[in-house]
Amino acid sequence: MSNGLGISAFVSYLDFGSQDRTTLSTAGGITNINNAGSFSAADVAGGVAFGRHFFNDNFSAGVSLKGIYSKLDGVTASAFAADLGAEYKLTFGDQPVTLGATAQNLGTTLKFDRVSEELPRTFQIGASTKLWSDRLTLYAGVEKVIHDDFVFRGGVEASPFVPMLTFRAGYDGSNDAGNGLTAGIGIKINNIVLDYAYIPNDVFSDNHRVGLQYHF
């Protein structure tokens, strides 16, 4: 939009797949693990985001407001939260570099029946640069989730054929249930962006994330 202001709407869906349900029973001093069927879990989030450029477009900041819906074994919960972000663009010689910071999931708790769950408040700082006539982006950063340790994240994004089609690969140090490697693809058609990410999981089912954005 004009005056450096951008507005977008988004929705994302995370499906954890079908998980095995087990129970414990004790007989004769021996504990047995019993198969009790399966259960499913999924998260849905959607909202609007606002961003604006400042200082000759070198600095930008934004906020997103979102609603979160979570389902676990037939029990549902909802919450509201805000994400904050800022980035600053500079150059080292002729190489452009972008520095960024975000604070995510600042909001209410998820309440499953009688149990409340705190949203994973997350803080990130990182840097990225573009190569190959802006068709290749490299990123590295650190993340701190409340009550957890710092972890490393890195990734690469490339559009080798046409700008509307983007391929992604990355490493997520917070994924304790896998090797941390991720992959994804993005498709942009006019103002609509469709994202897909694949996250392997060695403990539960692999994660598939789908995101849809519309930029006004």
Give the domain extent around 173. Answer: 2-19+34-215
More confident residue, 37 or 203: 37
Phi, psi of 4 (to 5 degrees): 70, 10
Residues 6+ apart with CB under 8 A from 90: 58, 96, 97, 98, 99
Flag whether 146 is in a domain. yes
- Asked if the model's pLDDT at residue 94 lies above 60, the reply is yes
Flag whether 153 is in a domain. yes
Flag whether 118 is in a domain. yes
Mean pLDDT of 177-184: 89
For residue 3, what pLDDT band results from cuts at 50, 70 and 90?
low
Residue 41: in which H helix or E strand, if any?
strand 30-54
Which pair of structure tokens corresponds to residue 56?
Answer: 């000759």
Flag whether 25 is in a domain. no
Flag whether 29 is in a domain. no
Flag whether 27 is in a domain. no
- Asked if the model's pLDDT at residue 2 lies above 60, the reply is no
Which pair of structure tokens corresponds to residue 121?
Answer: 């408040």
Three-state secondary-structure class, residue 99: strand
| Whole-number percent of the chain with pLDDT over 70 | 98
For residue 181, what pLDDT band results from cuts at 50, 70 and 90?
very high
Per the prediction, the chain carries an average pLDDT of: 91
Reported as a single tens digit per residue, the pLDDT across 55-83 is 788 999 999 999 999 998 889 999 999 99
Flag whether 26 is in a domain. no
Q: Which 3-state string (H, E, C) describes 56-125?
A: CCCEEEEEEEEEEEEEECCEEEEEEEEEEEEEEEEEECCEEEEEEEEEEEEECCEEECCEEECCCCEEEE
Reported as a single tens digit per residue, the pLDDT across 132-149 is 999 999 999 999 999 999
Say how many domains are in the chain.
1
For residue 122, give the CATH number of its domain.
2.40.160.40
Q: What is the pTM of this model?
A: 0.79
Flag whether 116 is in a domain. yes
Three-state secondary-structure class, residue 4: helix
The pLDDT, as a whole number, for residue 125 is 98
The pLDDT, as a whole number, for residue 195 is 97
